Structure 1
Amino acid sequence: MKPVLRQVTHSPEYSFVVRKDAGDDMLNTWHYHAEIEFLYIRRSAGTWLVGDHIGHFQSGDVVLTGANLPHCFRHEADHIHHGETICVKFLPEILGDHFLQLPETKAIRSLLNKAGTGLQLTGSIKEQAAKLIETMLTDSPGQKLVHLLQLLQDVSESRDCVPLSSKGFIQSPGSSDEERVRTIFEYTMKHYHERISLDTVASLLNMTRPSFCRFFKSKTKKTYVEFLMEVRIGYACKLLVEDEKNVAEIGYECGYNNISHFNHQFKSITGKRPLEYKRDYLEQNS
């Protein structure tokens, strides 16, 4: 199954889309679209895949995805019925080539280029962008455009934008290579808590183990073992701050049978031991 091309319908009154989705309307598959998109997670939590990046999102997060960058947001089941997101989608063409070549729009032009890898907004710009996106829901048509430019300018001036996907990730939507990467992503998301061998994932693509290893690293700029570790530790971070299980139980639930190995890999990814990570998180969000 290839990433789905999503066509965005515009109304006669607007040149771009500002839309609130709730419940089942938030659900999506591995897809891409020609529009650049700001997505504000108003109320939900789950896992996002942006290019070759995988991570966990929660209420309040804001992400910017570039044109034709495959992505998927997997909302957890208990958030589906009461969750909400707001998206702002626009074609870069609505700004005009001449406008984007002005010296005053240099920062915005640079931001749109960086959006090709996907950007997660953090710090004060995350809250600032969320407020603007909220306002755009009820704006008049002209004010929506003014606030879109304000949003782009504010984000372009911020240093609190974290790249998500690697620059080396394949950018040709619908290619056979992208379909293969998607197959591995999907399998890993379903089975990361189990023992996964390289021979097993290689067989999904009808490849030998060495061929698969070369293929995966050439497309994602990381080994499959590194990718699997990121998936498991990412989920462990979520459990640490949301669950009352102890470290050993969380490690086991994430696919680790050896607590020492879990602690070692957790620190190699986050720079902290599991309990240090939980303590720091709770202190910062208390």
Structure 2
Amino acid sequence: MKTLPDYKVVYELLQRSQSGIRFSDFSLSARIYDMMQKSDHITGINCIILLFDILDELSRCTIYKLLSTTAYSVYNNGNVQARGPVDRVYDYLYNHFKEKVSLHVLAHYVKFNPTALCRYFKQHTNKTIFECLAEIRIEHTCHLLTYSDMTISEIAYESGYNQISLFNKQFYIIMHMTPTEYRKQMR
């Protein structure tokens, strides 16, 4: 799609969607809902046409917010060895964010010295490994706050935090609001 000019806006939408998108245009929501209702009654190529109609509608919306500062992506069909160190760090963090993450274990996974890995990662992302870990955890938290009825404490533990105070502090630093405020805004 990247090379087809007619699909450039859809390609850009899909690129943005790697960070999660929340659309805030209520008339768009109604149009997409109506389109989704039609999907139950059509088959074959008409389903694909409907999908592109939905993507086209979403790509033209200008009232949206990215839900995360990090984009999730998988390269080389999941072949960890074929990717660079930064991709391997992200791979590890996305698969272990609910656990206690040890720099030494992560460095061993990436096949780097811990100090060298921290320096390399910071040079290539302008973030520390643990800033990225916090963003991944908060991204998961935002999903749970939006789509579950779990308590905020349960969500904190489910997102890899063992201390509620650290969870609240990191959530506020990244999202510029408390988890309760975020939940109210999303609902």
Give the alignment's TM-score, normalised by structure 1.
0.46
**Among the aligned pairs, what percent are the same residue?**
25
CA distance in structure 1 between the aligned counterparts of 2:91 and 2:112, rounded to whole angstroms:
17
Would you say the 8 A contact 1:251–1:257 is kept in 2? yes
Cross-structure match for 2:170? 265
Matches within 5 A, 1:122-201: 122-123=23-24, 124=26, 125-136=28-39, 138-139=41-42, 147=50, 150-162=53-65, 173=76, 176=81, 178=83, 183-201=88-106
Would you say the 8 A contact 1:251–1:259 is kept in 2? yes
Cα offset, 1:213, TM superposition: 2.7
CA distance in structure 1 between the aligned counterparts of 2:141 and 2:67, rounded to whole angstroms:
19
Would the alpha carbon gap of residues 109 and 163 (structure 1) be closer, same or farther in structure 2, given more than 3 Å must change?
Answer: farther
CA distance in structure 2 between the aligned counterparts of 1:234 and 1:169, rounded to whole angstroms:
11
Letter in 1 for 2:111: N
Cross-structure match for 1:208? 113
Cα offset, 1:232, TM superposition: 2.1
Cα offset, 1:208, TM superposition: 1.1
Would you say the 8 A contact 2:70–2:136 is kept in 1? no
Larger fraction in strand? 1
Would you say the 8 A contact 1:193–1:255 is kept in 2? yes
Structure 1, residues 177-231: CA drift from partner, whole Å, max 9, x if none?
5375564445334432332132221110110123323444566564321221022
CA distance in structure 2 between the aligned counterparts of 1:170 and 1:239, rounded to whole angstroms:
20
Matches within 5 A, 1:112-131: 112-115=10-13, 117-119=15-17, 120=21, 122-123=23-24, 124=26, 125-131=28-34
Cα offset, 1:272, TM superposition: 1.3
CA distance in structure 1 between the aligned counterparts of 2:158 and 2:42, rounded to whole angstroms:
45
Letter in 1 for 2:54: L
Would the alpha carbon gap of residues 210 and 127 (structure 1) be closer, same or farther in structure 2, given more than 3 Å must change?
Answer: farther
Would the alpha carbon gap of residues 210 and 121 (structure 1) be closer, same or farther in structure 2, given more than 3 Å must change?
Answer: same
Larger fraction in helix? 2
Would the alpha carbon gap of residues 154 and 227 (structure 1) be closer, same or farther in structure 2, given more than 3 Å must change?
Answer: same
Cross-structure match for 1:234? 139
Cross-structure match for 2:160? 255
For this pair of structures, how many residues does the alignment match? 179
Give the 3-state SS of the residue equivalent to 1:195 in structure 2. coil
Would the alpha carbon gap of residues 169 and 149 (structure 1) be closer, same or farther in structure 2, given more than 3 Å must change?
Answer: closer
Letter in 2 for 1:122: F
CA distance in structure 2 between the aligned counterparts of 1:219 and 1:177, rounded to whole angstroms:
18
Would the alpha carbon gap of residues 112 and 220 (structure 1) be closer, same or farther in structure 2, given more than 3 Å must change?
Answer: farther
More displaced, 197-206 or 249-258? 249-258
Matches within 5 A, 1:16-27: none
Q: Which runs of 5+ in 1 are unaligned?
A: 1-35, 37-66, 68-91, 101-107
CA distance in structure 2 between the aligned counterparts of 1:170 and 1:215, rounded to whole angstroms:
20
Would you say the 8 A contact 1:117–1:164 is kept in 2? no
The alignment's C-alpha RMSD in Å is 4.2
Cross-structure match for 1:17? none
Letter in 2 for 1:129: I
Would the alpha carbon gap of residues 139 and 264 (structure 1) be closer, same or farther in structure 2, given more than 3 Å must change?
Answer: same
CA distance in structure 1 between the aligned counterparts of 2:74 and 2:55, rounded to whole angstroms:
23
